[in-house]
Amino acid sequence: MDILFRKSKKNKNSNNLKVIVKPNKGLKQRRKSLESPIDIIYSKCCCCGTNIPVKANITKFKCGICHVTTILTPVEMTDNNIIDKDLVCSVTYLDSIIKGCLSKVKSQNSNDKNEKYKALEPISRYVTDCFHNYEVLERSFLPKSKYQSHTLIDYQELEKFYKLLMKLPTRRPFYRMLCASNDLLKKPGNALNYIRWLLIIWEIPFVRYCLTSKVYSKFDSPEIRAVSYELTKRCICYLSNISKTDKYAEYIYCLKYMDSDIFLSNVEKINLYITYQLTRIMYRVIRRNVMKDKKNDNLFNSNANNNNFETNNDIIRNSDPNIGYNNRNSEPADLSPASDPLIDDLWNITPEDIKTIEIDRGGKTLRPKGFKFKTSQYEHNWHIRSACKLMLILDLANSKRGGNPIENYNNASMSASKFYNTMLDFLDNKQDFEVWRGLDVGNRLSLLLTEWSAPQNQNNSTRFSFCNYPFLLSLGVKISIMEYETKRIMEYQAEKAFLSSLDKGKTIEVYFKIKIRRDHITHDSLKAIKEHQGDLLKSLRVEFINEPGIDAGGLRKEWFILLTKSLFHPTTGLFDHIKDSRLCWFPINSSSKADTKIHSQNEYYYLLGVVIALAMFNGNILDLKFPKALYRKMCKETLTFADYAELYPETASNLIKMLQYTGEDFSNIFCLSFEVTYNTNEKDNKGSKKSKKPNVITVELCENGSNIPVTQENKVNYVKAWIDFYLTQSVAISFGLFIDGFNRVFSNCKSIGLFSSEELERLLCGDEEHTKYDFQMLRSVTRYQGGFMNNTPVIIWFWEILEKWDYKLQGRVLQFITSSNRVPATGISTLTFKISRLGARDSEDLPIAHTCFNELCLWEYGSKAKLEQKLKVAVTESEGFGIR
């Protein structure tokens, strides 16, 4: 290339120079080819999902983000691409090769490492050939027994295969297997039309080990960790994109019947991957803060000699702050855990310690005080996006696990807490929630297809938010988000009322005030709610007529408790009290909705829905005896046999016996048809035409069900119809009114959608302690006022008395002070608890409780026995503002 500098011909007197570039002949030809019109299309990377501009006529391209080659035109496999049509991964064959190689090593009796490596080369060659070809993996580790027909892989044989490799005296065959797997993942080609090969690689032990700092075996090395990390990120990406393939249903089926330990391991692996990516974000924030301080220039070099990892990407020892970053998109370079020395320190720190984290380097420390993950730090991170999408698939599969009484598989549904990622406790949840509120997402499953439904030449405009994946957020984070939204709604309603009062020239309450009589609590509450439908979203204030007291939270708690107790009383007839389970459920609706007697009763179902919603909206705990089926229906989750068994355990046991009976005389033994018979409590009901008893009603479970006998072939359908009748159809009217009342409060509160049924129950009812309360934990967070301290004799006696009392009395103490004997969903340590001194003298008066502030007021009693006697009278005989 020639560069000439000439003066401009237009103005000879000018000193401006004109730069003339004369490209060589090769560049001219290249420019000529570029000047020709080229059709550019946007194609998504099959791994990270990045939109890449490519020529329209190419058959494949390589992504510059994840370095994976995407095939645009399917390639037909030829015999040259297949190593051996009979080659499979086999534990037996691998074991025979290992024994032959080890015997050869022993016979050589040489200390030369090269000779040993050469003797073990057949092992490396065998695993490389197997893991370099997806077709070999597809026909390997197939389930052999009928008990494994529900799985895609024989996980026991696969585990033995990996253990054999990890017991070798050298890590070379294992490392070669990892490299072969990585080559296959980088150029998958037609392999993405299948899934078994991917699940086999996903189960390699170091796929999980590489994300932790713990050394697991002699095989642990920076090289193995680095390659394992490459496998981890690509497996997660491919599996997260499986929803757009025809293998999605097969994968869901595999997850549904997967062994509980393996399923939990998958959840933990993905959570570890998310945690690692978030740790990198936190590390970069720390590093940026340190780079701003010139006094810490030597911080990164002080312990360089102690670095366990030797890598060219050592971002700790580089003084240039841009090293380790991708200049193309200003995103950090994709470093493996082996390339992040500081990560080793961060892994040893629990999330609970992050607020006070101290990383000692050269006598200096780094403290990310009040650190919060901002949306800008993770919303464009393709690692986190793909991991969350895959976790969404596992969460959907988890909702389908278990629930079948005749299946003896170890596939119980996991608790919601198993999916929590504790690193997200340090999420800027308000900012993330605001991003989520702007999204218009129909349901969770649609999230899997949203990204792929956009035009090819456009990037997906949907912003990423962790609230789209609420199963990752702990219950405490979700509660704080709800408190943030409800507080904002209450403030808006108060401001709106204030402005309306100025505009209309009359007083408008900024609170939702309820005035009730203690003896007519149900009637007065229903009247107040009906008359103030527009005030339900205001901050609630309760006043008991002819009683002293200003509501600062305590009266509101008492109103909720007394009202729910009244509504659930057997005399109201609103609920059936099931003796077998000691739970309450809606009665079967045998009368029409137009019935005036039933219509007056139905108002109470609407009232209960409003009351329960108000309790959640105002942060109060209720003592409810509903089964899990209610909360699952509220969250629109699918009901299972386990839900019915919890409510009707005796009937469920009989249904299981029927399902397990396999005799040919089934129809003659049971003599059942598709209909159900139940008793009604309505005295004026004359019964059905088929039933001779006046209070017995028979209903068909399907059309012409009385003429359809239950047989071996349709008995499962009969049980499904039976459960659907008792949990859904028969209670449709009363539950519909209940949910209408609930939605009247929460229709505009989106944070309620973050909670699963399990979390919704804990949020509403708290955690009930069945044996003993953890008062040691409560004592550690208790605050003292008026001169009391933790070592004051009265305080010491108080805690000793509580520890000595039985469970019921402990509950009465908690209810006396807080108006509820239940522990908050986030634990007793989150309960605000205070003990104050009434006076510096002995007294005959009883202790006093301020339930508004969870405060107990004690006198300076002269003895422990006197304190115990006064406290017992106070907690067992008190009601309202006095002694009953």
For residues 702-714, average pLDDT: 89
Task: Report which listed range, 197-201, 333-337, 403-407, is most confident.
Answer: 197-201
| Residue 403 or 452, more confident | 403
The burial class, CB within 10 Å (0-12 / 13-18 / 19+), for 563 is: buried
**Banded pLDDT at 644 (limits 50, 70, 90):** very high
Structure confidence by residue, pLDDT tens digits, 46-80: 898 888 888 888 888 899 889 999 888 776 654 44
Residue predicted with more confidence, 38 or 264: 264
Query: Could you identify the residue written with the tokens 């529900």?
Result: 150
pLDDT interval class at 299 (50, 70, 90) = very low
* Phi, psi for 427 (deg, rounded to 5): -80, 145
Model confidence at 333, in pLDDT bands (50, 70, 90)?
Answer: low
Q: At what angle do helices 260-292 and 382-398 cross, to 10 degrees?
A: 150
Average pLDDT value over all residues in the chain: 79
Q: How many CB atoms lie within 10 A of CB 114?
A: 8
Give burial (CB, 10 Å; 0-12/13-18/19+) of 273.
buried
Cβ neighbours for 233, distance < 8 A, ≥ 6 positions apart: 66, 273, 334, 383, 386
Burial status of residue 449 (CB atoms within 10 A of its CB: 0-12, 13-18, 19 or more): exposed
Q: Is the pLDDT of residue 704 over 50?
A: yes
Q: What is the pLDDT of residues 510-545, one digit of tens each?
A: 888 888 888 888 888 888 888 888 888 888 888 888
Identify whether the C-beta of residue 126 lies closer than 8 Å to the C-beta of residue 97.
yes
**C-alpha to C-alpha distances, 584 to 626, 627, 739, 798, 810, nearest whole angstrom:** 5, 7, 16, 37, 25
Contact 310, 283 (CB under 8 A): no
**In the predicted structure, residue 276 carries a pLDDT above the cut 80:** yes
**Two tokens, residue 273:** 């991957």
Please compute the mean of the pLDDT values over residues 574-582 and round it to a whole number: 88
Give the residue with greater pLDDT, 119 vs 366.
Answer: 119
Which sign, positive or negative, has the C-alpha torsion 719, 723, 726, 728? negative
Q: Which distant-in-sequence residues (6+ apart) come within 8 Å of 661 by Cβ?
A: 669, 670
Selecting among 66, 635, 852, 857, the annotated active-site residue is 852
Cα-Cα-Cα-Cα dihedral of 790, 791, 792, 798, to 10°?
Answer: 70
Asked whether the predicted pLDDT for residue 256 surpasses 70, the reply is yes
Q: Is 46 an active-site residue?
A: no
Enter the DSSP assignment of 553.
S
When pLDDT is cut at 50, 70 and 90, the band that residue 412 belongs to is confident
Burial of 154-185, coded b for 16+ CB within 10 Å and e otherwise, reads bbebbeebbebbbebebbebbbbbbbbbbebb
| 3-state secondary structure at position 443 | coil
Q: Is the pLDDT of residue 15 over 60?
A: no
DSSP class per residue in 270-332: HHHHHHHHHHHHHHHHHHHHHHH-GGGGGGGTTTGGG-S---TT-TTT---TTTTEETTTTEE
Structure letter (DSSP) for residue 482: H
Q: Is 817 helix (H, G, I), strand (E, B) or coil?
A: helix
DSSP string, 609-673: HHHHHHHHHTT--------HHHHHHHTTPPP-HHHHHHH-HHHHHHHHHHHH---TTHHHHH--B
Give the mean model confidence (pLDDT) for residues 179-185.
94
Q: Quick one: pLDDT at residue 686?
A: 46
Instruction: Residue 270: name the closest of 141, 414, 89 by CA.
Output: 414
pLDDT at 366 over 60: no
pLDDT at 574 over 60: yes
- In angstroms, the CA 97 to CA 524 distance is 83
Say how far apart CA 705 and CA 676 lie, in whole Å: 9
Which of the residue ranges 228-242, 253-267, 320-334 would you say has the lowest mean pLDDT? 320-334
Q: What is the pLDDT of residue 325?
A: 36
Q: Which ranges of 11-82 does DSSP label H, i.e. alpha helix? A: 25-35
Residues 297-315 have a mean pLDDT of: 39
Amino acid at 249: A
What tens digit of pLDDT does each residue of 369-400 get?
678 899 999 999 999 999 999 999 999 999 88
Q: For residue 443, count other CB atoms closer than 10 A to its CB.
A: 7
Radius of gyration of the chain (CA): 34
pLDDT grade for 83, boundaries at 50, 70 and 90: low
Amino acid identity at 500:
S
Residue 602's pLDDT band, with cuts at 50, 70 and 90, is confident
How many CB atoms neighbour CB 330 within 10 A?
9
Angstrom CA distances, 337 to 68, 227, 269, 317, 847, stand at: 20, 10, 14, 16, 58
Confidence (pTM) = 0.80
Tell me the three state secondary structure of residue 839.
strand
Count, residues in the chain:
884
